Amino acid sequence: MPDPLRGSPISAPAAAPAEGPIASLRGLHKRFGAQKVLDGVSLDFATGRTTVVLGPSGSGKSVLLRHIVGLLRPDRGEVLFRGRRIDNLRERELFAVRREIGFLFQLSALFDSMTIRENLEFPLTEHTDLGPESRRQRVAEALRTVDLEGAMDKVPSQLSGGQQKRVALARAIILRPALILYDEPTTGLDPIRADGINQLIVKLQRELGVTSIVVTHDLVSAQAVSDRVIMLYEGKIIADGPLPAVRRSGDPHVQNFLRGVYEDDVERTAVAAGSAEENGPDEPQPSGQEVQG
């Protein structure tokens, strides 16, 4: 099995404060037209921890991530980064915040007409004073990290979807961010590559203290990387805790999601859960296999 972490000298990000959340959401509300997407979401993301965000398609996971980097502004509520409010900053002021945040977009969002090298150099040129040789080294280092050194001079259309995803990940880490937001990092990857990405997320956390927020549908990935799991449903957080605790949730929407049950069945399940509760409210029913720490 290829080792995607082979020879990956990732350098430390700027020192982060040891305590306090790196990012916080306070009573976030967001709607698009008549559609309510976030309905009062409050969360603290502890520095150095990995939080996985689960939720059905369309539940607002990507919208939530976009608020954390100021790509979307809330209708109501606040977004804080390192204790400072950022939802009301101007674009120019957001620049410094974005320098510290790596964002792996759901669709890789590479520049089609640029080579992989140029794609990776772009944030370095925009955000740093590094000279050409230092930039070249950084690009090589980031591509080594995702096991794609050979792709340097290709353009995105010459790569598979999974390879493009890994290039996007290399771009997300190239500025050595303190916080990395991953939107579906393993979707479209084969299980071995997906495992490589999971290992990389864990490695960035363990070795460099990077804080991660990982949006995923992939429960294998959630199990591999998460310290904490939250689940979004209809704009609200309906589960929050370590994965084993979330698996024991009595909420039918959580159980349906974890079991992959289509939500048309939700009413029937809710009725079943209600009757189970009458029989023994203190006994949450574990679902599926238990997860070790």
Ligand X SMILES: Nc1ncnc2c1ncn2[C@@H]1O[C@H](COP(=O)(O)OP(=O)(O)OP(=O)(O)O)[C@@H](O)[C@H]1O
Interface contacts to ligand X, rule CB under 6 A: 32, 37, 55, 57-63, 106
Q: Please answer whether residues 156 and 122 qualify as being in contact, where contact means their C-beta atoms are separated by less than 8 angstroms.
A: no
1 Cβ neighbours under 8 A, 6+ residues apart:
192
> CA dist 24 to 44, 68, 258, 267, Å?
4, 8, 26, 33
Smallest distance from ligand X to CB 83, Å: 26
Which spans of this chain sit near Mg ion (rule: CB under 5 A)?
Answer: 62, 106
Question: Could you give the CA distance from residue 35 to residue 63 in angstroms, rounded to a whole number?
Answer: 13
Residue, CB closest to Mg ion: 62
Smallest distance from ligand X to CB 32, Å: 3
Residue carrying the six token digits 């309906």: 238
Question: Could you give the CA distance from residue 170 to residue 193 in angstroms, rounded to a whole number?
Answer: 14
Q: Helix or strand or coil: residue 180?
A: strand
User: Toward ligand X, which CB reaches closer, 79 or 151?
Assistant: 79
Residue 58's binding partner among Mg ion, ligand X, none (Cβ under 5 to 8 angstroms by kind) is ligand X
User: Toward ligand X, which CB reaches closer, 71 or 140?
Assistant: 71
Question: Could you give the CA distance from residue 61 to residue 87 in angstroms, rounded to a whole number?
Answer: 17
User: Toward ligand X, which CB reaches closer, 146 or 181?
Assistant: 181
User: Toward ligand X, which CB reaches closer, 136 or 217?
Assistant: 217
User: Toward ligand X, which CB reaches closer, 110 or 181?
Assistant: 181
Residue 63's binding partner among ligand X, Mg ion, none (Cβ under 5 to 8 angstroms by kind) is ligand X
Instruction: Give the distance between the most distant pair of CA atoms in the chain.
Output: 69
Smallest distance from ligand X to CB 18, Å: 32
Smallest distance from ligand X to CB 187, Å: 9
Smallest distance from ligand X to CB 131, Å: 38
